[in-house]
Structure formats: structure tokens, C-alpha cells
Amino acid sequence: MPITGGYTLNHGDRYAGMVVDSELNNSVSKLNDTGAVIPWGRFVARDGSTKFKAVGIGTVAADIIGVLRRELNRAQADGDANGAPDERDAAVLTTGTIYVETLGAVTAGGDVYAVVGASGEPDTPAAKPGIASADAGAAATLAVKVPNAKFLETTSAAGIVAVSLVIGG
């Protein structure tokens, strides 16, 4: 029986953690051993020589190894958290262009900061650790500058934008 009503696929043009284009890029394989799923497209930190973890309170720029790369070859059930599963390896993009979620408006060519949250009495953890910001923020939006990372697009509000980075993970 022929399809008479038409057939379309509705895909977004970008997703957090999706590589932007076929420009030269590098990823390293690391293990998520944190006990939690870490969402795709977030900046992550080194956890020893073979593991990664979500950035958070106390993370400094030297700890950041890259952005968690979206993997389409991972089967995930409906309702599962969308990210790198615990006790599994994942690819961390260390060099290249990738889409990331932003905290607010950003400007092309601007420096990239990774939201980590702040320590104090009491601590103020970030609601979405590892998303990108255009500035250092404060309290729950405190962020550290990611060396050699720039926004490639301008936005007027929070969203998903392309960044270029060269970290070397």
C-alpha cells in the first residue's frame, strides 16, 4: 500500500554534544565512573588518567579536558537520561567544533566559560554543571574560563551554540 499522506522526519538542526561539521577534530575515550549519567554536550573534567567526571565546585580550568561528545550508537530506552551512562566509556572532544548548551546570551568570538557552581557556606552547586557561559558568573552560575575556546555564533538568549576548542585532553 503506498503512502498517500506524505512522510517526514523531524530532526532538530543541532543537539548538545553534536560535532558541528567535518572540520578536523580529536576525541579521547574516557570512562564515566561517577555513579551518574552525564549529559551530552557538557564540559567535563579529568578524573585520573582514564576517567572523566562532571565539572563542579572546585573545578579549575586545568581540570577541564573537553566536551562530552554525543554518541548516536548508544541505545537508550525512552525515559532514560540522555548522556554518558555510568560504568561506560564515552568520547570527549578535545579539539574541534561542537554544539553546547549556554546559560544565556553569547557573542561570536567571545571567551567560553564552563559553569561549575561556587563553594562557601553553604555551597551553591550549579543546576546544570558544565554548560557554557559568556562570563565568570557568581554563586550557582560561577564559571571558569576554558582556555583556547571561543563561541562561533551569537545568540540573544540561552540555547545551543557552536564552540571551537583546542584543549588537548
CATH number at residue 81: 2.40.300.10
Q: What is the mean pLDDT of residues 141-148?
A: 96
Tell whether 158 is covered by a domain: yes
Domain count along the chain: 1
Cα dist from 65 to 30, 41, 81, 153, whole Å: 10, 13, 22, 22
Tell whether 98 is covered by a domain: yes
Q: Name which of 14-23, 33-42, 68-77 the model is least confident about.
A: 68-77
Tell whether 99 is covered by a domain: yes
Domain ranges, residue 61: 26-166
Tell whether 6 is covered by a domain: no
Confidence label for 4 from pLDDT (cuts 50, 70 and 90): low
Q: What is the pLDDT of residue 8?
A: 58
Confidence label for 46 from pLDDT (cuts 50, 70 and 90): very high
